[in-house]
Amino acid sequence: MTRYRFQICIFSILISAIYGRPQGPPGSEIKIISQTNEISPEGGYEWSYETENGIKAQETGTLKKGKGGPDGEDAVVAQGSYSYTDKEGNQISLTYVADDEGGFQPQGAHLPTPPPIPPNIQKALDWIASQPSTTERAGRRRK
């Protein structure tokens, strides 16, 4: 039994060594120019990095006390950005906010946008929104 465990251990180490090596041809590693990582005792954090090939990313998170999350527990509100140059030479930049109310909300010129809502559909949606809810209608009947 111990011999079997030893063989599995050796096999796992070999697989880790093979797949853990840097990918790409030798000398193609990208160096990190700057990097920060700070965590505050209050639950907030801040990190950033920049690589020699122009990739930049940063994020700041703060702890929102009390009302966050579905059960009223604390929640982290994060905001950040990243940018890089794609294979066609275009600069890609994205900013985002992530919180318990709106979820992940990215913004960037490269993101697809939905087509405009046709006027007749928008008119119908506006009419539906202006109608009282079923709860309001049920409450009015009981009086």
pLDDT digits (tens, 9 = 90+) for 55-109: 999 999 998 876 655 566 778 889 999 999 989 999 999 999 988 788 888 998 8
Whole-number pLDDT of residue 120 = 95
Whole-number pLDDT of residue 143 = 46
Start-to-end CA distance of the chain, whole Å, equals 77
Whole-number pLDDT of residue 128 = 92
Greater model confidence, 15 or 93: 93
pLDDT digits (tens, 9 = 90+) for 18-69: 666 566 677 778 899 999 999 988 888 999 999 999 999 999 999 887 665 5
Backbone angles phi, psi at 37, to 5 degrees: -160, 105
Whole-number pLDDT of residue 134 = 75
Whole-number pLDDT of residue 101 = 81
Whole-number pLDDT of residue 58 = 95
77: nearest Cα among 62, 59, 96, 57: 62
Q: Are 89 and 68 in contact (CB under 8 A)?
A: no
Which residues are within 8 A (CB) of 107 and not within 5 positions of it... i.e. 6 or more apart? 94, 95, 96
Mean pLDDT value across residues 116-121:
93
Which residues are within 8 A (CB) of 22 and not within 5 positions of it... i.e. 6 or more apart? 28, 29
Residue bearing tokens 């994060």 = 78
pLDDT over threshold 50, residue 7: yes
Residue 75 to residue 43: CA distance in whole angstroms: 10
82: nearest Cα among 61, 65, 57, 106: 57
